[in-house]
Amino acid sequence: MTPILVLFRVVGYGLLLLTLFDVISAFIPLQLSNPGWQFQTAGGFVERSAVPLIGFILAFYGNQEARKTRELLLLKLLSWIALLAGIFYFALVVVFFITPPGLNERSEAQISAQFDPKITQVQQIQTQMEKAQPAQIEAFIKNNRVPNATDPKAFQQKMIQEATAAEKNLKDQASITKGGQKLALIKNAVKWGLGALVSGVLFIRIWAGTAWARQ
């Protein structure tokens, strides 16, 4: 057996062992009821799918050449594991279709919780200014020592306009943030979904191409 063949197989087994460590780490702690955890964990498996794929190819490199009986048994097991991995990645495609709507709703709720109090505060200021009497405006200017505010009516209109502009700005920011989060979620779902599909096909091809190991 040539040194390069030995090196390929050793590296292959090493990559598969590292993959096993990643799988164990990904499922600890297990949070199957958490859609966010499901989405991110599934995405992590897709992002790292190249490592086990290369590991399988290197481990099976050379077919039956210079294999001991125990190694052939291991390769038989690995061949079936490749099939299970393919099925697993096909199942991940479903995750990327099911979880995004719920995650988007949760994200929008969080963004609303961040912006709604500020919007409400600005609306309250606007309402107070609209209902304020001239004497109240004068008292406000005097108590807060507002510079260059000699006309209470003009100051009142200015404050109302600023409050209206601030409300619109906050609503625009919230809308842009929600749109950005939704777009990022869709992009990841599509990218990871297609990646899971491709990975599943490749694992199945490895299983089909290693029929010699299962004989």
Mean pLDDT of 159-177: 94
What pLDDT is recorded for position 1? 63
**For residue 14, what are its two tokens?**
């090493």
Q: How is residue 74 annotated by DSSP?
A: H
* CB contact at 8 A, 171 and 119: yes
Q: What is the distance between the alpha carbons of residues 90 and 14, in angstroms, rounded to a whole number? A: 25
Is the pLDDT score of 140 beyond 80? no
Task: Check pLDDT > 80 for residue 69.
Answer: yes
Task: List the chain domain ranges.
Answer: 3-214
Question: Buried (b) or exposed (e) across 125-153, using 16+ Cβ within 10 A?
Answer: bbeebeebeeeebeebbeeeeeeebeebe
Q: What is the mean pLDDT of the chain?
A: 92
Average confidence (pLDDT) over 17-46: 94
Residue 52 or residue 150, greater confidence: 52
Q: Provide, rounded to the nearest whole percent, the portion of the chain with pLDDT above 70.
A: 98
At 141, the pLDDT band (50, 70, 90 cuts) reads confident
pLDDT digits (tens, 9 = 90+) for 72-129: 999 999 999 999 999 999 999 999 999 999 999 999 999 999 999 999 999 998 998 8
Q: What is the pLDDT of residue 167?
A: 94
182-187: average pLDDT: 96
- What is the pTM (predicted TM-score) of this model? 0.83
Q: Is the pLDDT of residue 175 over 70?
A: yes
The per-residue pLDDT for range 190-211, each reduced to its tens digit, is 999 999 999 999 999 999 999 9
* 213: amino acid identity, one letter: A
Report pLDDT for 215: 85
% of the chain residues with pLDDT over 90: 73
d(CA 5, CA 128): 81
Mean pLDDT in residue range 25-40: 92
- In the structure, what pLDDT confidence band is assigned to residue 153 with cuts at 50, 70 and 90? confident
3-state secondary structure of 210: coil
